[in-house]
A and B are shown apart, each in its own frame.
Chain A
Amino acid sequence: MRINISFMLNGSEVVVEVEGHHRLIDVLRDQLGLTGTKEGCGKGECGACSVLVDGRAVNACLYPALEAEGRSVTTIEGLRGPNNELSTVQQAFVDQGAIQCGFCTPGMIMSAKALLDSNPDPTEEEIRSALLGNLCRCTGYVQIVEAVRQAAVQLRDKP
């Protein structure tokens, strides 16, 4: 069963032909070539596959592709600026040394973005809660929390 679906991806409409058993991550990586979204566990545990659907963080590895129809999907590729410059949250991860191997980073950043979009001034506890569904096997999380804090301050100061 092949079905055409259309959805907003990083601000532009896309139309793709998908099958019933495809997951959103299959469509993003294999069909649309957006390999920024990573697949770690494939079972909802690690958060490497986190993307935003209608502004909320979800695991693309558990999200049936057909449910994206008519929705708005944001991936890590959607965060960069018009001249390929990094977004505030991305730059904060670089500045704070919050990236080692980098495999968890796109997912971490999407969860951080979902948090900061809804809560511009989070406490450390709120930052840690927002990142509960994202595992990092390298950094020990301290720099990641610092990066989110830096991004929060910079985004609030932005005119």
Chain B
Amino acid sequence: MGRYNYYKPLSLDDALALHDKIPGALFIAGGTDVMVKIVNGDIEPSALISLRSIPELSGIKENGSTRIGSMTTISELIEHPKLHKRYPVLIEAARRHSGPQIRNVATIGGNLCNCSPCADTATPLLVLDAKVRLRSIEGSREIPIEEFFKGPGETCLSSSEILTDILLDPPQREARAVFMKKGRVHMDLATASVAVLLEMEKNTCRRARLAAGSVAPVPLRLSQVEELLEGNIISSELLDRAREISSETVSPITDIRATEEYRRRIVGIYVRRGIERLLKK
């Protein structure tokens, strides 16, 4: 295993300045992806710059809308007294993230910045229309989370930027959402996952948001399904169509965890099941 220096800056400015100064340096949050990649020999950073001692990045603040610091751990999300009532879909997903030891250190920011298509917190944040705030030496910018994900292992985050916050609008009263994840055992990374959010007015769907994980190079919004549902009464035929479109529009791969065909099927089934579940609620 390689050798590297380890820095623990106490402020965002110091972290950004250090990163600017040291070629080959990488930010580390909880390290549950970074440390594994180092062991596997996938990356050889010259230095790790820890974000753990930077107070600006921790904590959850609520005043109408919600701001989640990027260093919030998955356990902290689950244990927060209000989040599970305000954004149940995010907490359902957090509960399906790994096991206790990983959840106690893994962060929501690391989950997103690792740019894996199977990041469990990504699909709920997509259906909640979350925004992320990024900070670089030049300043900070705010973008919709959908624009954050670009390609496999790629986000719109440049290597010298830090994700500082995840921003959520106040929950919509009529909105209901579910998260579903297929893994071989509970702790697994998702073979496929789906988040569905619906706002209904009687039998008509006023707003739909759907996202799928592990079935494309990035966590994916299923916008064609959203268009299909919005403004319509959700009939059994429409459900079948939603399932078909979902299976067709994703672009999964075959890997050690599942085949392409299986992933297409699961996504279709989960989309249908998710909508049905919400209609029953």
Contacts and interface: CB of A to CB of B under 8 A. Distances in A.
Contacts of B281: none
For the complex of A and B, the 5 pairs showing the least CB-CB separation, nearest first, are A133-B99, A20-B6, A132-B99, A20-B5, A62-B35
B65 interface: no
Contacts of B36: 43-44, 62
Given A1-B5, A66-B50, A47 B101 contact: yes
B104 A56 contact: yes
A57 B104 contact: yes
Given A57-B100, A62-B32, A62-B102, 12 more contacts: A20-B4, A20-B48, A21-B1, A21-B2, A21-B3, A21-B6, A42-B39, A44-B32, A58-B101, A61-B35, A64-B28, A67-B52
Nearest to A70: B53
B100 A132 contact: yes
A134 B99 CA distance: 9
B61 interface: no
A116 B137 CA distance: 45
B47 interface: yes
A64 B6 contact: yes
A59 B2 contact: no
Contacts of A64: 6, 28, 31, 35, 48, 50
A124 to B, nearest CB: 15
Contact of B105 (A43, A63, A66, A114): A63
B186 interface: yes
B11 interface: no
B8 interface: yes
B47 A133 contact: no
Contact of A23 (B3, B35, B52, B186): B35
A59 B100 CA distance: 10
B187 interface: yes
B251 interface: no
Contact of A133 (B35, B39, B101): B101
